[in-house]
Chains A and B, each alone.
Chain A
Amino acid sequence: MGPAVPSTPPPEAAPGDDAAAAPIIRVEGLTAGYDDFVLLKDVSFDVRPGEVFVILGGSGCGKSTLLKHMIGLYEPMAGHVFIDGDDIVTAEGDARKSILRKIGVMYQSGALFGSMTLLENVRLPLEEYTELDNEAIDLIGRMKLELVGLEQFTGHLPAAISGGMQKRAAIARAMALDPMILFLDEPSAGLDPITSASLDALIRRLAENLGVTFVIVTHELASIFAIADRVIMLDKRKKGIIAEGDPRVLRDTSEDPWVRQFFHREPDAVAA
């Protein structure tokens, strides 16, 4: 195990308000890439408990790569990622399992198990990690699917529903165990505006009422302004963070041309 930061108690105060609160995620000096190619160099930042934290940046800047390092899918070239005080980079066996129990992940493609119905997909983590009886697991699974508006599709296979519905079902599965932290990779992409807005409202509700921390990779500006407490913006030229803070403040006051270009949806002329 690597060095540890203090563990975070269950949230009670309004989430994300206390900037001095111990971070629930701490990324320290993370260097990541593929083979010899370095995509992110010496990246460090904190995520506070209960906040909705958004990772932004242009295509190919390493947003999804950063997310995959944060959830322990990839091993970094250097650096550490602490989840609630424990280093996911060095954790193995039960220690790693205990960290993974605290997080839920929604992948860009949904990644639902094709041979299982939606309800079975959501039931799976509950069956594996809890000792609740069958009826209780069934009810929780159906409630999660109701949360994302799929109560009428519990018995459907993923292949029988649309891409947007698959994404919502994947969010329901990620929420099955009510994890402390939810990682969402492009949750709004491919969703209609109404569903997207409902999803934003759900994220805010879970963050505010349950203190769930969200780490979200998204490009959707409307979503970012609706849900984000804080954002970091990555840039592929600098191989790291070029801006960090409240997205509304960054939009209105940032003097960095890339940040302005992103938030004002300006074409790539600035790059010239």
Chain B
Amino acid sequence: MAALAIRDTDVGRVLALSGRLDANTIRDVWRDARRALAESSGRPVVVDAAAVDYCDGAGIALIVDLLRIGRREKRDVEVANLKPAFVALLNQFDVGVLDHDLDPEPKRRPAVEEIGAITAGVWHDIREQVEFVGETVAALGYAVRHPSTVRWRDVWVICERVGADALPIVALISFLLGVILAFQSAIPMKKFGAEIFVADLIGLAMLRELGPLMTAILLAGRSGAAFAAEIGTMKVNQEVDALTTMGLDPVRFLVTTRVIAALLMTPLLTLFADLVSLLGGALTLQSFSIPFITFVHEVEGIVDFSDFMAGFVKSFIFAILIAGIGCLRGLQTSAGASSVGDAATRAVVSGIILLVVVDGVFAVVYFFLDI
């Protein structure tokens, strides 16, 4: 155990340390030594280490701390009788260097500067997005003109991950959406004897709006985040740099394949989601004495081809948004594990915001085109 004895002599105060000085034993000794030094009324202080048996880095830190306080307060503090092995350890440190932090955290910027920096950051991000859209469109155009340059093997693998692997979650959410929508609307409609029109509501709402939107939001959370994390990790591991120095365009290599896969899979998943949600609605309405065939006839009567296409066309645009924003956030990853997490988060957040905004734009356009 470590111990501290305090003696006052004619020439000053002696702090006699003894025993084993390590991180587990010195907590109280350290506190007492600091207090004894503070209470020595400016007299010279000698730290006597003659009885110190063992002194590791924490013990040396205690001695350095006492010397540092002496230096800071312009006091006469010295160490005596420290064993040569420990002196060698003590001599590794410059008390002057440790007296102040050489790398302090930067001060916070004034509010105006902070607002300016954030605005500049947003502007920079918009510019990057526009540039990225241009690069992606150019790469897709090149892929259309030269299909053999597309890495189709990668495309199929990504298709499986984006499409087939997403079927269970898309089925579950769509089915529940159909069930919930049917229940929530059928209960009030029943008061007016109008439960049959629930089929109309589900048919129109799912095919025009909710089917494509919910599928896209699911994919943004699932595949958009995966694209960002995957490409972000490649960026951190310098795999993207390796592609560049090999003369291969990262956009063509990484982005085109993912955008094509998303373009192929998202509309199919949307179709699947539409059908499953209608099935959920139909099953729910059976409990309201509406037979399955009646439900089908009602939906056929209200939903025409333009309603179906209104939702289906959106799914292509949503696919480009999800894949594009996921890849962009991945390519924007800086360094370190946390930045990969940030990239995935930003991919999901900005992906969902863009989906909702674009869906709103579609609603306005369809209104004016009377679709």
In the docked arrangement, what's the CA distance between A5 and B336, Å? Answer: 42
A86 to chain B, nearest CB (A): 18
A264: Cβ under 8 A from any B Cβ: no
**Nearest chain B residue, comparing its CB with the CB of A141:** B61
Query: Are A175 and B89 also in contact (CB < 8 A) when A130-B24, A154-B101, A154-B103 are?
Result: no
B371: Cβ under 8 A from any A Cβ: no
Interface contact B336-A131, CB-CB below 8 Å? no
Q: Mark B303-345, 1 if CB is under 8 A from A, else 0.
A: 0000000000000000000000000000000111111000000
- Of the listed stretches B51-59, B269-277, B288-296, chain A binds B51-59
Q: Which of B124-147 contact A (CB under 8 A)?
A: none
In the docked arrangement, what's the CA distance between A132 and B336, Å? Answer: 30
Which residues of chain B come closer than 8 Å to A136, judged between CB atoms?
Answer: 27, 30, 58, 61-62, 65
Query: Are A132 and B58 also in contact (CB < 8 A) when A114-B338, A178-B22 are?
Result: yes
Interface contact B23-A10, CB-CB below 8 Å? no
In the docked arrangement, what's the CA distance between A147 and B62, Å? Answer: 16
Interface contact B92-A144, CB-CB below 8 Å? no
B88: Cβ under 8 A from any A Cβ: yes
Say which residue of A129, A146, A152 sits within 8 Å of B94 (CB atoms).
A146
B84 to chain A, nearest CB (A): 9
A159: Cβ under 8 A from any B Cβ: yes
Q: Which of A93-136 contact B (CB under 8 A)?
A: 114-115, 126, 129-133, 135-136
In the docked arrangement, what's the CA distance between A143 and B23, Å? Answer: 14
Which residues of chain B come closer than 8 Å to A129, judged between CB atoms?
Answer: 23
Say which residue of A126, A135, A159, A210 sits within 8 Å of B23 (CB atoms).
A126
Interface contact A139-B339, CB-CB below 8 Å? no
**Nearest chain B residue, comparing its CB with the CB of A206:** B89
Interface contact A143-B64, CB-CB below 8 Å? yes
Interface contact A205-B64, CB-CB below 8 Å? no
Interface contact B24-A146, CB-CB below 8 Å? no
Say which residue of A146, A152, A158, A209 sits within 8 Å of B98 (CB atoms).
A146
Say which residue of B65, B101, B337 sits within 8 Å of A114 (CB atoms).
B337
Interface contact B61-A205, CB-CB below 8 Å? no
Q: Which of B19-69 contact A (CB under 8 A)?
A: 20, 22-24, 26-27, 30-31, 54, 56-58, 60-62, 64-65, 68
Q: Which A residues are within 8 Å of any B CB, using their own CB? A: 10, 114-115, 126, 129-133, 135-136, 139-140, 142-144, 146-147, 151-159, 175, 177-178, 205, 208-210
Other CB < 8 Å A-B pairs besides A135-B65, A142-B101, A159-B336, 11 of them?
A: A10-B20, A114-B339, A132-B26, A133-B27, A140-B23, A143-B61, A143-B64, A147-B92, A153-B103, A154-B103, A205-B92
